[in-house]
Structure 1
Amino acid sequence: MTERPMSPQKLAAQLLESYEAGSSFFFASPKRTLLARGTFATVPHFEGTDALQRLPERVAAVLNNAREAGHDIPVAVGAVPFDGSIPAQMVVPMTLQRAGPLVFDADVPVHQPLAARYTVQPVPEPAAYLDGVTQALKLMQTGSLRKVVLSRSLHLSATTPIDLPQLLRNLAQRNPSGYTFAVDLPTEAAGGRRRTLIGASPELLVSRSGLQVLANPLAGSAARSADPIEDQERAATLLKSPKDLHEHAVVIDAVVEAMRPYCKKLDVPAGPSLVSTQTMWHLSSRICGELADPSITSLTLAVALHPTPAVCGYPTELAHEAITTIEPFDRGFYTGTVGWCDVNGDGQWAVTIRCAEADERTLRLFAGAGIVVGSKPESELAETEAKFRTMLQAMGLGQNTEVQS
């Protein structure tokens, strides 16, 4: 009897179940699922002010070498950090499996990780974050800064090893319309310990398929409510909010400015629409284009767009300076980009938000909020709290969470 081929849905689910921390790259989008294993070649690390700008050519060289060596999977996968002078983590895997989108049975409950006792240390403390927002608002009053994204982190320590494959499954099931990912990070900076970048981003930085490109920036947010009427009221208020519409317009203008030199056609919506996750409402604009030059890769576009004002601010240099001055931690790969690019230039890159950096028993979670004129420190703090919920709910945190101050 001939064995029936596996359905795309079952194959996607199998790829998710097959993920192993420390030896895999997983990336699921609304249309496809990827699982890469092993390392055929590593893109050499490069530091310096032009490290980010030189990344596409270095990746292209490694992909071409892989193809010439007879490797039949010339695709680079990995992550780019927030700070462009810090090396990216990208490899050409030994194997790569592709499937359609992940589809979950709505009647099947989300399986939480085994309960563990955690201690949680906020960095900075909430009061210090409020002070940081106030500092940013003063900078806007006295200079040319129009927007800056200020973030917080939560340092979680567990009493038992963290089940990262289960956490990844929970994130994927809770965020089917987003970009769920798990990426191995360099071990050198962690004293040889295995580290994983894991999360479920709602935001596409850019994708390329042939000559067609798409960017989908999100800017302007509101927390969801468990009450359906209140939830719809929050969505309607967000769509009319002058502060959030201004924040969104700043981002869209910058994204269009970065994409236009590469495109012979660019379709920009007249105004934003609403998209939602389980925890947040967002203002969204889908910007579609057609490349003028087929040699422009998805990674070239990602580098041109990174970092967008949605995660950094505007003007970029002034916002970056403010972040360096105000935030009391190194973002690492948070607010960078994660994804893949093949030897033909096609690929997808998501903005690295709603995520954590994890090792065996600790996680460092991140969340940020866009500060513009009219922002209120207490509201921005509340927005970061809401954004933390994506990771916290997937971890099953509740009664056993112990917060240190």
Structure 2
Amino acid sequence: METTNKIAEITKALFLEHLLFRALNENLPIAIWKKPKQSLIEVIIDEDKEGIKQPGMDLDQLPPGFMIHPFLHSADHQPFFIKATNYYRFSLDENEVSDDQLPIWENSNKELTVKIREIIQSFPAGKKAKASRKSDFIQTVNKAIESIASGKLYKVVPARLKKMTLPSDFDLAGTFLALCDAYPNAFINCFFSESTGFWIGASPETLIKTRADSFYTMALAGTQKAKGDNPLKNAAWTQKEIEEQALVSRYIVDCFKKIRLREYLELGPKTTIAGGLLHLKSEFLVDMKATNFPQLGSVMLELLHPTSAVCGMPKAEALEFLDTEENFDRSYFSGFIGPVNIEAETALYVNLRCAKLENKEVLLFAGAGVTEDSVPEKEWEETEMKCNIIGKIIKTNQSR
């Protein structure tokens, strides 16, 4: 794994564009990310176009790289692993080039922006899926409430697909950096392979994280728009949202019980902000050395996915409901993504607040947790807010 730690004499955006253009132009798998509350941007490019198809869940057996896992396995959507044969990183806190050097790079910058956009616009469109209609989504939510009332489900998370046109002056590197600036508490990412297509997102939810002897996961649920100068202090949660988050926490605890793990620390729930939205979050920490459970990350990964936060409870019944009612393929939305064994850490995130770029379209995905107290109109509004997290940045961030 080759490492480049410093960027000399070029801007951050141009550096990203050079890497993106090379990978996309040569069909090489690439992943770019920034972890929550950090300033370090990391990039890997896999010189082997094939990557690792259908990688196993045993994380310790994987080389350094980036995991891409769908919501559910299907003939069209399989897990894919980008190997870190080339690894680059730089900090957003590092100084840019001096002003007298910027004009030298401006034309090259614009040329690369255009070339990258043209490559994205040339991507073949996937299976034509229709955007979700509001009336259909509300009907699905009503059916979900009926199933919950009948005792078949405790909670279910129907999703929807929204489409928008890729702006004619779309700037990929600029959009990524704008996401980093707008959403510092999210996992900012974009990745590409011929198997998965091109995705970009800002996920608020950690699925699992392991480093040295520590294991971490979280329960994130409940959504409201951040308001006022102090949104964390002003947050007021309804019984529906409190219960929704409690179900997700209970799901994690049940997974611990299945493997007879009793020694864990639970923190929360507390209000957290991500992407202009407030959520309720509980955190769970385990000392893998003290519990003599070095494989906990891999074991919990298999137990947790798909979590009740993106699927529902009970899992089997919720999946059956979604299979019947959702009129599109989630693909890698609400699957999991993230770096594996990079710098002695694995950090996998639920692929939320994301978009797929294909041809001249942007496919936006969002889901809403439905419980017995749900109001269908409000669930639709929640999905609109979630889609706008990525959508508004793509719309407003124009090429330089």
Measured against the shorter chain, the TM-score band is 0.7 to 0.9
Q: Which deviations, in whole Å up to 9, do the C-alpha atoms of 1:73-108 show, x marking residues without a partner?
A: x303131100145420112121123456x4599xxx
Deviating more after overlay: 130-139 vs 271-280? 271-280
Residue 210 (structure 1) aligns with: 212
Instruction: Find the residue that maps to 2:188 and give its secondary structure.
Output: strand
8 Å CA contact 2:167–2:394 kept in 1: the answer is: no
Counterpart amino acid of residue 382 in structure 1: E
Residue 56 (structure 2) aligns with: 55
Residue 335 (structure 1) aligns with: 334
Counterpart amino acid of residue 265 in structure 1: E
Counterpart amino acid of residue 246 in structure 1: E
Task: Tell whether 2:252 aligns with 1:276.
Answer: no
Task: Tell whether 2:242 aligns with 1:245.
Answer: yes
Instruction: Give the Å deviation of 1:41.
Output: 7.7
8 Å CA contact 1:298–1:341 kept in 2: the answer is: no
**1:56 and 1:99, CA in 2 relative to 1: closer, same or farther beyond 3 A?**
farther
Instruction: Give the Å deviation of 1:44.
Output: 4.5
8 Å CA contact 2:207–2:349 kept in 1: the answer is: yes
Residue 197 (structure 1) aligns with: 199
Residue 366 (structure 1) aligns with: 365
**1:277 and 1:91, CA in 2 relative to 1: closer, same or farther beyond 3 A?**
closer
Task: Tell whether 2:264 aligns with 1:258.
Answer: no
Task: Tell whether 2:75 aligns with 1:75.
Answer: no
Alignment partner of 1:96 out of 60, 64, 87: 87
Q: Which deviations, in whole Å up to 9, do the C-alpha atoms of 1:238-287 show, x marking residues without a partner?
A: 2xx21111000100011122245285631012x41011124211101111
Q: Which deviations, in whole Å up to 9, do the C-alpha atoms of 1:322-351 show, x marking residues without a partner?
A: 111111100000001111222897300011
Task: Tell whether 2:302 aligns with 1:303.
Answer: yes
Instruction: Give the Å deviation of 1:155.
Output: 1.7
Instruction: Give the Å deviation of 1:295.
Output: 4.0
Instruction: Find the residue that maps to 2:352 and give its secondary structure.
Output: coil
What CA distance in whole angstroms lies between the structure 2 residues aligned with 1:248 and 1:104?
38
**1:344 and 1:296, CA in 2 relative to 1: closer, same or farther beyond 3 A?**
farther
TM-score by length of 2: 0.77
8 Å CA contact 1:175–1:278 kept in 2: the answer is: yes
Alignment partner of 2:34 out of 28, 32, 41: 28
TM-score by length of 1: 0.76
8 Å CA contact 2:44–2:65 kept in 1: the answer is: no
8 Å CA contact 2:232–2:272 kept in 1: the answer is: no
Counterpart amino acid of residue 302 in structure 1: L
What CA distance in whole angstroms lies between the structure 1 residues aligned with 2:263 and 2:390?
38
Instruction: Give the Å deviation of 1:212.
Output: 0.3
Task: Tell whether 2:157 aligns with 1:149.
Answer: yes
Instruction: Give the Å deviation of 1:302.
Output: 2.6
Instruction: Give the Å deviation of 1:198.
Output: 0.8
What CA distance in whole angstroms lies between the structure 1 residues aligned with 2:13 and 2:282?
30
Instruction: Find the residue that maps to 1:237 and give its secondary structure.
Output: coil
What CA distance in whole angstroms lies between the structure 1 residues aligned with 2:334 and 2:94?
28
Counterpart amino acid of residue 211 in structure 1: D
CA RMSD of aligned residues (A): 3.4
Equivalent pairs counted in the alignment come to 350
Instruction: Give the Å deviation of 1:205.
Output: 1.0
Instruction: Find the residue that maps to 1:253 and give its secondary structure.
Output: helix
What CA distance in whole angstroms lies between the structure 2 residues aligned with 1:299 and 1:92?
18
8 Å CA contact 2:13–2:177 kept in 1: the answer is: no
What CA distance in whole angstroms lies between the structure 2 residues aligned with 1:170 and 1:204?
21
Residue 346 (structure 1) aligns with: 345
**1:281 and 1:339, CA in 2 relative to 1: closer, same or farther beyond 3 A?**
same
Residue 68 (structure 1) aligns with: none
**1:145 and 1:19, CA in 2 relative to 1: closer, same or farther beyond 3 A?**
farther
8 Å CA contact 1:259–1:305 kept in 2: the answer is: no
Consecutive unaligned residues of structure 2, counting only runs of 5 or more, are: 96-112, 115-128
Counterpart amino acid of residue 351 in structure 1: V
**1:161 and 1:331, CA in 2 relative to 1: closer, same or farther beyond 3 A?**
farther
**1:11 and 1:383, CA in 2 relative to 1: closer, same or farther beyond 3 A?**
same
Alignment partner of 1:134 out of 125, 134, 142: 142
**Identity among equivalent pairs (%):** 23
